[in-house]
Each structure stands twice: as structure tokens, then as C-alpha cells.
Structure 1
Amino acid sequence: MKATQWMAMGVALAAGNAAAGTMQLFGVVDASIEYAKGSDSVVRMREGQQAASRWGIRGIEDLGGGLKANFLVESGFNIDTGTEFFGNNRLFGRQAYLGLSGSWGEFRLGRQYTPSFYALLRLDPFLLNGAVSPFNLLSATASQGTGHVAYGARFDNAVQYFSPKWGGFGFGAAVAPGEVPGSARSGLNFGMNATWEAGNAYAFYSYQGMYSGANLQVEPTLTSNHFVGGSYRFKPVEIGLLFSAASSERPETRSARHYGVTFSWAVTQRDTFKAAALKRQILGGGQRPLAVTLGWDHDLSKRTTAYVRAVLVHNSAGGSVSNNSIVIDPGSGDDAKSVSVGLRHRF
């Protein structure tokens, strides 16, 4: 297609947007160089250690009377290879939803972040980054036995509601059917959160329930995750705490507890030091890993940031829990370590 044709198409799209609403192309590009050591060591280029690389389209239309329609579709990719990332070959694996909003709140339909994800996101200084955040241990299942469904950051087929804020208090709820014929509970996911933020303080409680599999021969069992936490900002420092409990209806499945602490320090207007640690404990014995991440962000501009990340996962004897795709031999008890330097650009 000739350049003039592309320009004409752009003018036509802009004119359509002006009449129907607004639409925006957005994204993140993030790349780093990392040294990682687990059972073996490696030097590699990694993507998304500050924020996962992605591109997306969002739109909104004013329907009048305070009612608005909106949508968002978002796809992840690997900046080091250009391949699709995070969606398991889905076109928009990160998010894909359509919604309506007004003074009464907002409803969304589609693949979305869960209520628990939104509550935890505000607490974690690493923004639940899938590569480096210690909060990744919340999704671990090691030593818990069969029947435990790992906590997930997203629901497919979700109907989600977000309330307006009343004096800093708000809540959200979501339900996502498993869509298994003949079994209403198979694969059913649901959750809620209640948050409060006023001044320098933040507090939340969140619940996430997930029913196992799509095997009609096996009765679905419920895995429950409870999260409670909060933070307080002593300008320019913010400190937070987290407690989490994960359990299953199956009697042979052990429960897990998680204890977390977070720290963020705005050293200058452009520099931020951040740290977080999470301890995972299996009741009745089993692996008890500790994950710690340190980071430094330096804003080169409003959209471009240089950063450093240091990750450690310390395993108990016989453990093999990892983070950041660091290879640990099963049952070795080896620690996972990495140091990386990277650059992130938002558009």
C-alpha cells in the first residue's frame, strides 16, 4: 500500500474516532541484560523485568447522561525475539474486555485481571511483575499436594464490577464460569476485594476461589486464597505488609501461608529504591522458600526509565522453587539468583 493510501486511512480513522469517541494505541517496550545463577549459570537478554512488553488499543465513547462504553485489548510480546508472550498463542492474552461505566461504577466483560490482582498491585512496589516480583510465590503449588489450583492474576470469561469510591472505600467482584457442559462448578472462578485508601494509608482484603478442572468423572474441589495487607507512606518512604492463606477442600492437600513486606523510597524526583520479600510456608512440612527482590529505577524522562534488579529465591533443603525463569534442578535445594540492568519505554 502506498504512503498516501496509509495517510488517507489514518485521516479516515481519526474522523471516525472524532464522531464516535476516542481510541488510543498504547504500550510498553522493556529489555534487559541479566546474569542468572541457579543450578547452572547463564548470561542472557531478558524482556519485561521492569514492566512486561506489550501493545494494546483502548477506546471510550460518551453515551450521554454520564454513561460511557469502553474497551481494551492488550497483547504481550518478547522484545528479545519478537515472539508472542504471555497469551499462550492468544491474540490478546494480557487483557480483552468490553464495559459500561457511570456514576454507579463499572461493569466489564471478557478476559481481565482479578479483584485480588488489583488489590495486590497497589501494595507491590514491583507491580506484580511476572519476572522479578517476590509476589510470584503466591502462585506456587510445591509441597501442597493434588487438588490445589494456583492463584491466578486473570480470569477468562469474566463478568466484573468495580464500585465507585466512598470516602476512600471501594470494592470489586468478579465471576467467571468454566463453561463446561454438564458441570456448572468445573473451572468456575470468582473473587472480590474491599480496599480503603485515604491520605498516606492503604488497606485491603481480597478473596479468590477457583474450582478444579473439567473432568466430569472427578468432583470439582474448591481452592481458596485469602489476602490481607496494607501500607503507610512516611514521605518519601512507604512500607507495606501482606498475609495470605491458600487452602483446598481436598483433605490430602496442605495449606500454605505467605508473609510479605514491601518498601519503597523516592530518593529523588527521578530515582526510586524499592524492595520486597515474601516467605512461603507449607503447614505440616514441605518446601519453605524465601524470595527477595531489590530494585532501583531512574527516570530518564516521563516515558523512559533505566533500572537495576537483583533477585534471590532461597530454597529450604530439597526445595526447587524459582523465579525469573531461573533453572533449579528438582529437589536440589539450590538458590535462584539474578542481577539485571535494563531500559523501559512507554508509549
Structure 2
Amino acid sequence: MKKSLIALAVLAASGAAMAQSSVTMFGIVDVGVGHVSATNSVSGVTQSGNSSSRLGFRGVEDLGGGLKAGFWLEGAISPDTGTGAGANNAGPGFAFSRRSTVSLAGNFGEVRLGRELAAGYDKPAISYDPFGQVGLAALQGWTTVRVSNGVSYRTPANLGGFFATAHYGFGEQAGNNTAGRYFGLAGGYENGPLSVTLAADQVKAGVVNNGYSSVTLANDLKTWSLGASYDLGVVKPAFVYHSEKTGSVKNNIYMLALTAPVGPGNLIGSYARYDLKDSNNDSNALAIGYVYNLSKRTAVYGTYAHMNNKNAAARNLNGVSGSFNSNVTVGAGENVDGYQVGIRHAF
């Protein structure tokens, strides 16, 4: 009888613990068609034109006393080919290369271990770019997008709108443990209609897994960013400044953007300038788009983007939209035009 009571007590305790845990599967499938023209013209099926296509699992366990444990496993998918390519994963197999973290959160904030977006990229880039850093019109210029072998800390959400993030990534490269080592800081204020973020990071010379491909830095990379937006209701203007310096090469990127609710969706537009210091090889980009929400989870969208290159500059439109864009040849000082339409579904 005692054994039965003990077994029932164990089962009850186990059930209570399970009731305090949750696991969610989530994802986005975003596919469209597009056309880009420069020296030559290329048309094809695109993916991630409005949101990055992905598949993920996340969960949280309530440990009591305000303490929670969590995990987040998220990988890129390329629905145009059915592979797991993306976020620094060449495919065709699937990998949790977008994010793979375990965390502890409480009144002290949150500590994460694993691979995730770099502190110097996360909010400064994604929050203020109306195109969400995807598609032909996405703002370019960030060398470091994701950080592996990382430890990060985020302040709690009850600081009156103020927030901060500290992020450190161990290099862990064969033969040189400091190569590619990352350190980033970000902080700002977000309350009501106003949002402001200031961020800076540094990467030691070596191989950097920047989120989409690997880049080898001959010199240390230092960056800083400023982003801001203010929601006026009828329109939300946004501004981004991003600067990167490695060795004697310095790039400055500026963006002015607007988001306006029109009908059941949003009209979005941006102007970006890519300024290579001590050179006239600069580029200017203009983009406009509309996202029509069919429901809370499904939308159709259309985007037009134009890149104006000066002198020896040969910058293409953003290539995250699919491999078809890499087949476009851009000559020195040549303009690039592109458009895409697609469907995005979240689950």
C-alpha cells in the first residue's frame, strides 16, 4: 500500500512538473518569384523575400521562485529547393544554424549559451529596417550576423524601457583560439512610440561565420551602430547608421525608412547610402514595398529595389532572396533593378 502511495505521489509530482513546462514548434515558409537586371537579367523563384524561412523548436520550464530554464533550436530552410540551406549552413541537410541556445532567466535578466544573433546586429539592424533584413531591398553592410560558441547576458524587462546586452564569443578555431573572437555591447530605450539603440562590437582577425557565409578577416573588425524609430501612428520613420572598419578600410552605411499602415497592410520604403571612405566608389539604394495581411499568419507582398552604383562600385541587391540573384553580373558603376512578389505563412 505504501509503495502504491509513493508511486502515485511520484506520478503526481511528475505531472505537476510537466504542467510547468512547454515546448513549441514554429516556423515560416516564404516563397515568391523575382527578377533582377544589370549586365544580364535573371528571373526565378525566390525565398525569404519578406521573412526568413525557418523551422524551430523552443521550450521553457518554470523552476520556481521566478527562475526559468529554456532552450531555442532554430534552423533555416530553403523552400524553393526543399533543403536546409541558409544561416551559414550550405545544405542540403538541416542544421540549427540560425539559433541554438540554452538559457536561464529570472529577475536578474537572462543568460544564454550557444549560437545566436550578434549583439551588434540583432536590434540595430532588424528592428529599424522596414524590410526586416531580408529580400532584395534589405539593408546590407553587417559582416558579423551570428556568433557561435557564445555567452550573452540580457537585462530584465522591468527597467522602465531601458535595456542592454553583452555578448562574448570564443574563437575556438583550430590552431588559434583567439581568431574570430567576438565581443559586443548593445543598449537603448524602448517605450511607447520611441525606440533607440546604440551598439558596438569587435571581432578578432580570423574566420567569421557571419550568418550566411564564412568571411576571413586579415585584420580585427570594429563596428558601431545607431538605430532609432518613432511611431507617429500614421507613419513610423526610422534611421540607421552603421560603421565598419578593418585595417585601413572603412565603410559607412546610412538608412532612412518609413512604414505606414495602408488598408490591411503596410506600405514600406527606404533609402540607403553605402559610403566607402577615401573613395568615390559608393552606392545608393531605393526601395518600396507593400505587405498585404490576409490573416495574422499569412501575407502576400511585393517589393521593388534599385541600386545606383558610382565609379568602380558594383554592389548587387541583397542576395538572401535566393541563389538566382547570384547569377546576375554587375559591372563597375552599373545600376541594378529588381522586384519580387511572394507569399509568407507563419505557423
CA distance change for structure 1 residues 41 and 17 in 2, over 3 Å: closer, same or farther?
farther
- The aligned residue for residue 293 of structure 2 is 299
Superposition map of 1:3-22 within 5 A = 18-19=18-19, 21-22=21-22
2:262 paired residue number: 267
Q: Distance in 1 between matches of 2:170 and 2:336?
A: 37
Gaps of 5+ in 2: 1-14, 208-215, 320-324
Q: Is the 8 A contact 1:160 1:172 kept in 2?
A: yes
Task: Report the alpha carbon displacement of residue 255 of structure 1 after superposing the two structures with TM.
Answer: 1.3
Match of 1:239 in 2: 237
| Structure 1 vs Structure 2 CA RMSD | 2.2
Does structure 1 residue 256 correspond to structure 2 residue 251?
yes
Name the counterpart of 2:73.
73
Residue number among 110, 118, 121 corresponding to 2:122 in the alignment:
118
User: What is the rounded CA distance, in whole Å, between the counterparts of 2:23 and 2:144 in structure 1?
Assistant: 29
Specify whether residues 231 and 184 from structure 1 end up closer, same or farther in structure 2 by C-alpha distance, changes over 3 A only. same
Please list, as runs of the form range in 1=range in 2, the aligned pairs for 1:3-152 lying within 5 A after superposition. Answer: 18-19=18-19, 21-86=21-86, 87-89=89-91, 91-120=95-124, 121-129=126-134, 131-136=135-140, 138-139=141-142, 151-152=143-144
User: Could you say if the C-alpha distance between residues 52 and 134 of structure 1 is closer, same or farther in structure 2, counting changes exceeding 3 Å?
Assistant: closer
8 A contact 1:211–1:220 mirrored in 2: no
Cα offset, 1:133, TM superposition: 3.9
CA contact (8 A) 1:74 1:96 kept: yes
**How many angstroms apart in 2 are the aligned matches of 1:133 and 1:211?**
30
* 8 Å CA contact retained: 2:195, 2:228: yes
Contact 1:202 1:231 in 2 (8 A): yes
Runs of 5+ in structure 1 lacking a partner?
1-14, 140-150
Between the two proteins, the alignment pairs up a number of residues equal to 313
Q: Say whether 1:207 aligns with 2:200.
A: yes
Contact 1:178 1:185 in 2 (8 A): yes
Tell me by how many angstroms 1:287 deviates. 2.1
What is the CA-CA distance between 1:237 and the residue it aligns to? 0.5
Instruction: State how far apart, in whole Å, the 2-side matches of 1:101 and 1:213 are.
Output: 32
Which amino acid in 2 is paired with 1:293?
A: A
Match of 1:143 in 2: none
In structure 1, the partner of 2:282 is: 288
Deviation at 1:73? Answer: 0.8
Kindly report which structure 2 residues correspond to 1:159-174, keeping only aligned pairs within 5 A, or say none.
159-165=151-157, 166-174=159-167
- 1:241-291 Cα offsets, whole Å, 9 max, x none, are 12222112x3xx2212111111100123x2100112210111111521112
Instruction: Tell me, yes or no, if structure 1 residue 315 matches structure 2 residue 319.
Output: no
Residue 8 of structure 1: aligned partner: none
Tell me the distance in 1 between the aligned counterparts of 2:262 and 2:235. Answer: 9
Confirm or deny: 8 A CA contact 2:317 2:338 kept in the other structure.
no
Aligned to 1:343: 343
Q: Could you say if the C-alpha distance between residues 41 and 329 of structure 1 is closer, same or farther in structure 2, counting changes exceeding 3 Å?
A: closer
Query: Secondary structure of the residue that 1:115 maps to in structure 2?
Result: coil
List per-residue Cα deviations over 1:150-184 (Å, max 9, x = no partner).
Answer: x2211011101110131111100100011136644
Secondary structure at the residue paired with 2:121?
A: helix
Aligned counterparts of 2:31 and 2:328: Cα–Cα separation in 1: 23
> Retained in 1: the 8 A contact 2:299–2:344?
yes
**TM-score, normalised by the number of residues in structure 2:** 0.84
The residue type paired with residue 72 of structure 2 is L
Amino acid in the other structure paired with 1:158: G
> How far 1:188 sits from its partner (Å)?
0.4
What SS does structure 2 have at the residue aligned with 1:255?
A: strand
The answer to whether the 8 A contact 1:321-1:328 is kept is no
- Give the one of 216, 219, 235 matched to 1:221: 219
Identical aligned residues as a percent: 26
